[in-house]
Structure 1
Amino acid sequence: MGPFCIKDTGKYGKGLFATRDIKKDELIEVSPVLISPKKEWKYLKKTILFHYCFYWGKNDTAIVLGYGALFNHSYSPNVMYDNNMENLTIDFYALVDIKQGEELTINYNGYIDDMSELWFEVIK
């Protein structure tokens, strides 16, 4: 396991929390993905796997495996992700210095300033 542990967030269910201080730009997690082609999207969005999907290239969808599936959403994330097309992974990096005990969060929209509609209610 990386520099984190799994804990209950009290509002979103399980989440990832730093077990030590994490430095800005540090690689936190490398999560393998399964690639689902565009033609399968209409079926995929009807399943629980829909909640673990990331855009992959122009048209395909990546279903994230491993700990990558446990990052919760924030409009002020402390972690960013990069689609590693060559290795078929999503790589998660610290956006800022993160203190031990902080929850690790990403912006599910993919962009820090993207406030487009999400498929779930954001609890404040």
Structure 2
Amino acid sequence: MILPILHIALSDNRGRGVFASEPIAPGTIVEISPVLVLGAEDRQKVETTLLYDYIFEWGNDSKGACVALGYLSLYNHSYNANCVYEMDYDADTMRIITVKPITAGEELFINYNAEPDDEKPIWFEAK
């Protein structure tokens, strides 16, 4: 499920991103998408490819990973994110939920650290 008011467009200096065409209230589930689950061994292989920048850690021990379908891999990172992501390990799905008001035309961001205001440097900034 992807709300029909979301669309993909170019994001300043970030490639593509997810944008809203209408205002969205905080607490709105804007996307629920299936994931392809990878075990620890497959995760190690994928981490040597271009997909490394698009996978999410998966499982209670975080040893696995997943490839998220839908728009999920196109949400850009911000330390001041306006959305969060939640994982449902039983259903093999992920949800994107707004945590701040979104205006029409605004880009939706998640914090790749999994917490909206966690400012620990992420992998591509720590290089």
Q: Do these two structures clear the TM 0.5 threshold for a shared fold by scoring above it?
A: yes
Distance 1:72 1:41 in 2: 21
Q: Which amino acid aligns with 2:67?
A: I
- Equivalenced residues, count: 122
Structure 1 residue 112: Cα displacement: 2.5
Q: Which amino acid aligns with 1:65?
A: L
Q: Which residue of 1 aligns with 2:58?
A: 56
Runs of 4+ with deviation above 6 angstroms: none
Q: Which amino acid aligns with 2:21?
A: T
Distance 2:36 2:94 in 1: 10
Structure 1 residue 116: Cα displacement: 2.5
Distance 1:50 1:93 in 2: 24
Query: Higher mean Cα deviation, 77-86 or 38-47?
Result: 38-47
Q: Map Cα deviations across residues 73-99 of structure 1 (whole Å, 9 max, x no partner).
A: 000000101001222111000011111
Alignment of 1:36-51 (within 5 A): 36-51=38-53
Counterpart of 1:101 (choices 105, 118, 124) is 105
Q: Which residue of 2 aligns with 1:115?
A: 119
Structure 1 length normalisation: TM-score? Answer: 0.90
Q: Map Cα deviations across residues 42-97 of structure 1 (whole Å, 9 max, x no partner).
A: 21101121111112121211111121111000000001010012221110000111
Structure 2 length normalisation: TM-score? Answer: 0.88
